[in-house]
Structure 1
Amino acid sequence: MSEGANLCAPGTPCWVSLMVHGLDRTEEFYRGLFGWDFEEGPRALGAHRLAHLDGGQVAAIGAMAPEHRLPVAWTPYLATDDADAATEQVRCCGGTVGVGPLDADAAGRKAICSDPAGAVFGLWQPRRHSPVERPVRPGTPAWNDLLVAEPALVAKFYELVFGYDVRSEGDTATLYVGGRPVASVRAADEETLRETGPRWTTHFEVADVDAAVARAVELGGRQVREPHETAAGRLAEVADVEGARFMLVHSPR
């Protein structure tokens, strides 16, 4: 990954990744929706492209092998100081390591894992950390939450692996790093779990949720959940041209 992906503290979701069947079509969708620019990523990781906005990396999109018919979904990469030690902790706490750890050229070391509920996430060990944090702005990831049947039990897994301070309220557990909320684990209804399974969901900031939904549909995506007001701001859920779901949010400032 590029140097821009290193601006995160351990435990923080520092970038998101998407594996698709059609790179060109997916690039066109997100360029049209968020204004992202793309460049080819390191060859060591296979065919993939790095998405940039105003000079900073915001995401990576890779090509899935043709024979793989896996669900297409956004995956957050959680920062760690030691990817090898973190993968061992994942196994010890009931998770699964699917890929890695392996080197991503000179930028860092990565692994792809799943938690005890089956939700997929990545581990990212950057070569160096920076205290600078890029502000959330339209076109960038603003939040990640995890939809599972039993939030308290799954949040405990992430607490043990990453050292989060977990604060639960109702059916939501919020994960904190250094006193700052970085992600949440929420209860999903049976219909959602039956349709998509346990999964991480990325929220992307936009200037106008309703206009962004209309633009996503125009580009070949679809509306999953119509725009609505929440305590976190105005939200809507959409799916891209390959069916990957994500949230559009306009947060109050």
Structure 2
Amino acid sequence: MTEARGSAGGNGEAHARYTPGTPCWVSLMVHGVAATQEFYGSLFGWKFRPGPRRLGPYVRALLDGREVAGIGRLPPDRHLPIAWTPYFASDDVDQTAETVRLCGGTLGVGPLDAEEAGRLAICSDPSGAVFGVWQAAAHRGTGIAGVPGTPAWHELRTFESESVAKFYATVFGYEKEPVVSADYDYLTLHLDGRPVAGIHGVGNSLPRDRGPHWMTYFTVTDTDDAVDQVLHLGGQVLAPARDGSHGRVATVTDPEGARFALLGSPR
């Protein structure tokens, strides 16, 4: 992974308007909204308030009074993996959705209005990884960044990076910067010269029950302490904490199985 540089000011405020193609929101659909609120509220210090009910019961998570993520209820008849889904900003979600379709992706939901908040579509890339597209109106997206409890980075785990990177570059206008390595398949997606997301080709290491998927990294003060809290709250550890080039990282799940990563300062 790499750092999401330029996503926040020194006081943690996110940009008032997200450049098209920038990750601007992250949302989780679960079976038990109340239990999920309790888990993430305890882990990240989030508070919650109701959001648009266009897709059913939905709450927005708040940190220091500013919106940071969304949690909704998965319809009982939808047997889908529980997963955090990043949303990428668009000035015209209908046009972006059409580009997704023309480039070999799939349109799963929408485009549709989320009341006065904005307009959205939920799509999947040609490898099957799910992502959202958000056209802001009253709700611009994540309102705080760069502090514990906020999304730090979004990374696509897929079979190999280059072919699916072409899809995202065409849809969102990214520039690609590969990591030059004989045994590490990774590239970074850039907008206006700054990194906004990564693509990690892991081949057959992908979990069979998930396939290609986006992974959200959340900033924490202390990765090891956060891992202990995840376990105490009923989650699981998929990859123990380790020091990396950008901090100490662990991969965990919440009690319903949603995968995410914790990113703290190195020890």
Judge same fold: TM > 0.5, yes or no. Answer: yes
Helix, strand or coil at the partner of 2:231: helix
Amino acid at match of 1:70: L
What residue number does 1:100 align with? 110
Helix, strand or coil at the partner of 1:227: strand
1:93/1:125 Cα in 2 relative to 1: closer, same or farther (>3 Å)?
Answer: same
What residue number does 1:232 align with? 246
Q: What is the count of residue pairs matched by the alignment?
A: 248
What residue number does 1:180 align with? 194
Cα displacement (A) at 1:191: 3.3
Task: Please give the alpha-carbon distance, in whole angstroms, between the structure 1 residues aligned to 2:165 and 2:19.
Answer: 19
Cα displacement (A) at 1:208: 0.2
Task: Please give the alpha-carbon distance, in whole angstroms, between the structure 1 residues aligned to 2:80 and 2:95.
Answer: 27
Amino acid at match of 1:198: P
Cα displacement (A) at 1:166: 1.0
Which of 123, 130, 140 is the aligned partner of 1:120?
130
Residue pair 1:119, 1:198 contacting (<8 A) in 2 also: yes
1:40 aligns with 2:54: no
Aligned ranges for residues 1-253 of structure 1 at < 5 Å? 7-127=17-137, 134-169=144-179, 170=181, 171-251=185-265
Amino acid at match of 2:242: H
Unmatched segments (≥5 aa) in structure 2: 1-13
Amino acid at match of 2:213: R
Amino acid at match of 1:110: L
Task: Please give the alpha-carbon distance, in whole angstroms, between the structure 2 residues aligned to 1:227 and 1:235.
Answer: 5
Amino acid at match of 1:65: P
Cα displacement (A) at 1:39: 0.8
Q: Normalised by the size of structure 2, how large is the TM-score? A: 0.88
The structure richer in helix per residue is 1
Cα displacement (A) at 1:70: 1.0
Cα deviation 1:40-94 (Å, max 9, x = unaligned): 1112231111101011111100101112221100000000111000001001100
1:101/1:251 Cα in 2 relative to 1: closer, same or farther (>3 Å)?
Answer: farther
Cα displacement (A) at 1:6: 6.1
1:61/1:5 Cα in 2 relative to 1: closer, same or farther (>3 Å)?
Answer: farther
Unmatched segments (≥5 aa) in structure 1: none
Helix, strand or coil at the partner of 1:68: coil
Amino acid at match of 1:235: V
Structure 1 stretches (4+) deviating beyond 3 angstroms?
A: 4-7, 132-135
Q: Normalised by the size of structure 1, how large is the TM-score? A: 0.93
Cα deviation 1:142-187 (Å, max 9, x = unaligned): 0000011120110110000000111112411100111110000001
Task: Please give the alpha-carbon distance, in whole angstroms, between the structure 1 residues aligned to 2:37 and 2:146.
Answer: 21
Amino acid at match of 1:182: V
Task: Please give the alpha-carbon distance, in whole angstroms, between the structure 2 residues aligned to 1:126 and 1:19.
Answer: 20
Task: Please give the alpha-carbon distance, in whole angstroms, between the structure 2 residues aligned to 1:44 and 1:214.
Answer: 36
1:53/1:124 Cα in 2 relative to 1: closer, same or farther (>3 Å)?
Answer: same
1:232/1:35 Cα in 2 relative to 1: closer, same or farther (>3 Å)?
Answer: same
1:33/1:133 Cα in 2 relative to 1: closer, same or farther (>3 Å)?
Answer: closer
